Amino acid sequence: MSTNPSRRQFLQATGSLAAATVLPSFGFAGVHNGVDETIQVALVGCGGRGGGAAMNALSTKHGPVKLVAMADAFEDRLKGTFDNLTKAAKDKVDVPEDRKFVGFDAYKKAMDVLRPGDVVILTTPPAFRWVHYQYAISKKLNVFMEKPVTVDGPTSRRMLELNKQAEALGLKVGVGLMSRHQKPLQELHKRVMDGEIGDILLVRGYRMHGPAAYSESLPKPEGMTDLEYQIRRFHSFLWASGGVFSDFYIHIVDQGLWLKNAVPVSAQAIGGRHYKANGEGVPFVDQNLDTYGVEYVFADGSRFFFDGRCIHNTHGIYSSYAHGTKGSAIASRSGDCGGPSSIFSDHNMAAEALKWQSTDNSNPYQNEWEALMDAIRNNKPFNEVKTGVEASLVSSMGRMAAHTGQLITYDQILNHEHEYAPGLDTITADSPAPVQIDSTGRYPVPMPGQKGIREY
């Protein structure tokens, strides 16, 4: 065995799966000589994206791969996704009843099924990411985790600390910022780094459409705890998701950082909440604003402007752009990272100024899994957590600037002391919800100018 053995070498040498716990590196080069070469996958957070990520894992060209365990806080969510996955990929779903786990400690039981070097998918609301990542590292598992990876300063610092352990173990960790694996954006990024549009002076991004997913919430119905309500409608609650700003806007924010190849040093922002009740006059109780406009500043003084809006019957824009001293670029033409990406010789971006346009149509959600699985099979370095934390923090920085009405620096958000949901590693179904309604039946909403640099 070499000093840095692949998982195959280790398993051949020991003939024992259990002994693999001491493995110092988690490449998985395909196992022979009677040892199973299937990468086992557990899914923690069996909602829409969890089901999608599991399908991407099961569809990889770097198989064989099998889904062997599932965990969710709520039984109905687990059942729905199990049924869908079984329909779509029956041969690769091996999750009998005793490997389906429900509750707030279900994540541990699902990961306990896996062997070191297998893969866990973390697709709960982001508030739980550090809790689940911590356990995955202790089990020496490779990880795919969805964005955002944090929603506040304290958990961002915790994720960066935890990640040092993952790096020391050589774990492979993918983060669901799939723009980074969208081939048109990869090519655009290379061209921008090669100077094709000169020095970047301005990046712009927009996500403006009607209310979506759980951006708005009416008061909690009877028959459900407040905790369950807040988790099920996580886009409505800052502790659970960072609200629509973090959860919806992070992809476009991430593209701004990637194209500028830097994180901004500060942000100032505005925002408003115009419609506080539905058509029947029932008040919305979520913590989101309806509109956001952020000016991020990079160290060289260049700017990144981002606008977000969730209001019906308004002009829709959902795209991102860069402007340099020699021309401009469309990064995402439509949606989180929809192609084609383009480069233009001027700033009007008309057809006659087009210099390059991408042609690849491959699926970035599948691409990100091919990259992760390739790294696992072939023991290549792969850890996207730092990028994930930076994009999450810069999203939180813009959100906090709007919610407080203050200029927020990157250092301030990184070192901020307000942890929105402390103790999520010990939460149970009976725990109090992290935010409570007041005497008017409302959860705290941002009050710019009233609370210093606290969002609520």
List interacting residues with ligand NAD (CB under 6 A). Answer: 44-50, 71-74, 77, 104, 106-107, 123-126, 128, 146-147, 176, 178, 231, 247, 336
CB 243 within 8 A of CB 237: yes
DSSP state of 283: B
- Helices 75-89 & 48-58, crossing angle to 10 degrees? 30
Joined together, the tokens standing for residue 97 give 């009843």
Residue 175's beta-bridge partner residues?
145
DSSP state of 171: -
The least distance separating ligand NAD from the CB of residue 101, rounded to whole angstroms, comes to 9
Q: Which residue is nearest to ligand NAD (CB)?
A: 47
Residue 47 vs 324, nearer CB to ligand NAD: 47
Q: Give the DSSP per-residue string, 383-422.
A: B-HHHHHHHHHHHHHHHHHHHH-S-EEHHHHHH----SST
The least distance separating ligand NAD from the CB of residue 71, rounded to whole angstroms, comes to 5
The amino acid sitting at 261 is N
The least distance separating ligand NAD from the CB of residue 295, rounded to whole angstroms, comes to 24
CB 356 within 8 A of CB 344: no
Pairing of β 119-122 and β 173-175:
unpaired
Residue 51 vs 153, nearer CB to ligand NAD: 51
Residue 75 vs 161, nearer CB to ligand NAD: 75
Residue 361 vs 428, nearer CB to ligand NAD: 428
Per the omega criterion (within 30 degrees of 0), is the bond before 64 cis? yes
Provide the 3-class DSSP secondary structure of residue 424: helix
CB 283 within 8 A of CB 292: no
Residue 7 vs 235, nearer CB to ligand NAD: 235
* Spatial separation of the C-alpha atoms in residues 296 and 370, rounded to whole Å: 33
Joined together, the tokens standing for residue 380 give 């290549």
**Angle at alpha carbon of residue 436, lines to 435 and 440, rounded to 5°:** 135
The least distance separating ligand NAD from the CB of residue 435, rounded to whole angstroms, comes to 16
Residue 323 vs 333, nearer CB to ligand NAD: 333
The least distance separating ligand NAD from the CB of residue 399, rounded to whole angstroms, comes to 14
Residue 343 vs 393, nearer CB to ligand NAD: 393
Residue 271's beta-bridge partner residues?
292
* Spatial separation of the C-alpha atoms in residues 148 and 55, rounded to whole Å: 20
The least distance separating ligand NAD from the CB of residue 105, rounded to whole angstroms, comes to 9
Provide the 3-class DSSP secondary structure of residue 134: helix
Residue 45 vs 327, nearer CB to ligand NAD: 45
The least distance separating ligand NAD from the CB of residue 173, rounded to whole angstroms, comes to 15
The least distance separating ligand NAD from the CB of residue 83, rounded to whole angstroms, comes to 13
Residue 49 vs 355, nearer CB to ligand NAD: 49
Residue 98 vs 352, nearer CB to ligand NAD: 98
CB atoms within 10 A of CB 56: 22
* Spatial separation of the C-alpha atoms in residues 380 and 257, rounded to whole Å: 25
The torsion angles phi and psi of 432, rounded to 5 degrees, stand at -65, 150
**Positive or negative CA dihedral for 82, 83, 85, 90?**
positive
The least distance separating ligand NAD from the CB of residue 404, rounded to whole angstroms, comes to 23
The least distance separating ligand NAD from the CB of residue 178, rounded to whole angstroms, comes to 5
* Spatial separation of the C-alpha atoms in residues 173 and 323, rounded to whole Å: 32
* Spatial separation of the C-alpha atoms in residues 53 and 56, rounded to whole Å: 5
The least distance separating ligand NAD from the CB of residue 248, rounded to whole angstroms, comes to 8
Beta strand spans in 19-141 (E): 39-44, 65-72, 100-102, 119-122
Residue 229 vs 305, nearer CB to ligand NAD: 229
The least distance separating ligand NAD from the CB of residue 356, rounded to whole angstroms, comes to 26
The torsion angles phi and psi of 269, rounded to 5 degrees, stand at -155, 160
Residue 106 vs 294, nearer CB to ligand NAD: 106
